[in-house]
Amino acid sequence: MNKIVGKEHFSENVVKFEVEAPLIAKSRKAGHFVIVRVGEKGERIPLTIADADVEKGTITLVVQKIGVSTTRLCALNVGDEITDVVGPLGKATHIEKFGTVVCAGGGVGVAPLLPIVKSLKAAGNKVVTVLAARNKDLIILEKEMREFSDEVIIMTDDGSTGKKGLVTQGVEEVINREKVDLCVTIGPAIMMKFVSLLTKKYNLPTVASLNTIMVDGTGMCGACRLTVDGKTKFVCVDGPEFDAHQVDFDEMLMRMGAYREIEQADLANKFGKK
């Protein structure tokens, strides 16, 4: 059982939690994720760690309310306990001084991008962060990103803040104006696919952090598998970060939909939503 000690709404459907997990706070590194379960009949879902405070013994998770499990999680408040939190899982981000790094985050993917931005900056890189969302209200962690990035470019679909356009336009703008050595992208699979297609055109090495369906998260079930460079890889133990240019994003998008119909019916059944 892990107690929630902080809760903040970024938007109606995006919540930031600070959760007591002293051992995980101590051992986690940028790029790691945890498996979380809410309730005795709860599902095991992977969430990438957005931040940690070793002194306080807490980790930060940012959750978007989508299905049954995230709805249950987002309904919890300060003082409530999460039934299970286990981790840190996956391989940590490979951090070194690359030179100039573009970090492209979309939606709640911005949260797990933050520790990577911090680590890259601390390793002496010039970090240009591109944050993208549908509108102004859905841009998260802008202040924190500005603190650790050399520059932050905001892109929104409707132009309500920053520039009007997609994340790829922001990334391309940077590529066109200066030498970029690495791109790191985290966000919806479809966004990462297009970032990857763009950077491939420019031969810019790109790392994507994937958030596939998982059950145990420790390499046991293989639910998270996908094709990378023609070989089957397990996101939970081989990843979650991969060379984006080798990832079969179409397969990933397909596999992400495996339980969509069942999940929507379950959501309607349990929470009366469609």
Partner 1 sequence: MAEDRNEVWREELRKATKNSERVQIPRIHMNELNAHFRARTRDEVNQGLTMEQALQESRRCLDCPNPTCMSGCPVSINIPGFIKNIERGEILEAAKVLKQTSALPAVCGRVCPQEKQCESQCTYKLKLKKEPVAIGYLERFAADYERESGHVSVPEIAAKNGVKVAVVGSGPAGLSFAGDMAKKGYSVTVFEALHEIGGVLKYGIPEFRLPNHIVDVEIESLRGMGVEFVKDCIVGKTISMEDLKKDGYKGVFVASGAGLPRFMNIPGENLIGVMSSNEYLTRVNLMDASNEESDTPVLKGKNVAVVGGGNTAMDSVRTALRLGAERAMIVYRRSEEEMPARLEEVKHAKEEGVEFMTLHNPIEYLGDEKGRVKTMRLQVMELGEPDASGRRSPVPVEGKIIEVDVDVVVVSIGVSPNPIVPHSVNGLDVSPKGTIVVNEGMQSSIPTIFAGGDIVRGGATVILAMGDGRAAAKSMDEYLKK
Name the segment binding partner 1 (CB under 8 A); options: 120-128, 143-151, 168-176, 220-228. Answer: 220-228
Binding mask 16-45 for partner 1 (x = CB under 8 A): -------xx--x---------x-x-xxxx-
Rounded to a whole number of angstroms, the minimum distance from the CB of residue 213 to partner 1 is: 10
Rounded to a whole number of angstroms, the minimum distance from the CB of residue 140 to partner 1 is: 26
Residues between 226 and 265 that touch partner 1 (CB under 8 A)? 226-227, 232, 234, 237, 251, 254-255, 257-259, 262-263
Say whether 180 sits in a helix, a strand or coil.
Answer: coil
CB atoms closer than 10 angstroms to residue 81: 14
Looking at the Cβ atoms of 88 and 107, the one nearer to partner 1 is 88
Residue ranges of E strands in the chain:
2-11, 14-20, 33-37, 45-53, 58-64, 81-82, 84-89, 100-106, 126-133, 151-156, 163-164, 182-186, 206-209, 225-228, 231-234, 241-243
Q: Binding of partner 1 at residue 179 (CB under 8 A)?
A: no
DSSP string, 29-55: -TT-EEEEE-STTPPPEEEEEEEEETT
Q: Which of 108, 154, 112 is nearest to 15 (CA)?
A: 108
Q: Which of 111, 163, 118, 171 is nearest to 140 (CA)?
A: 111
Rounded to a whole number of angstroms, the minimum distance from the CB of residue 69 to partner 1 is: 5
Calculate the dihedral angle through the C-alpha atoms of 15, 20, 24, 25, rounding to the nearest 10 degrees. 80
Name the segment binding partner 1 (CB under 8 A); options: 80-88, 137-145, 152-160, 197-205. Answer: 80-88
206 — alpha (psi -120 to 50), left (phi > 0) or beta? Answer: beta
What is the tally of helices (H) and strands (E) in the chain?
9, 16
Among 69, 185, 209, 212, binds partner 1 (CB under 8 A): 69
Among 87, 107, 112, 115, binds partner 1 (CB under 8 A): 87
CA–CA separation, 72 and 145 (whole Å): 28
Name the segment binding partner 1 (CB under 8 A); options: 4-12, 67-75, 188-196, 204-212. Answer: 67-75
Partners of 183 in the beta sheet?
102, 206
Among 15, 49, 68, 247, binds partner 1 (CB under 8 A): 68
Number of shown-chain residues binding partner 1 (CB under 8 A) = 44
Looking at the Cβ atoms of 39 and 124, the one nearer to partner 1 is 39
- Contact positions vs partner 1 (CB under 8 A): 23-24, 27, 37, 39, 41-44, 68-69, 72, 83-89, 215-216, 218-223, 225-227, 232, 234, 237, 251, 254-255, 257-259, 262-263, 266, 269-270
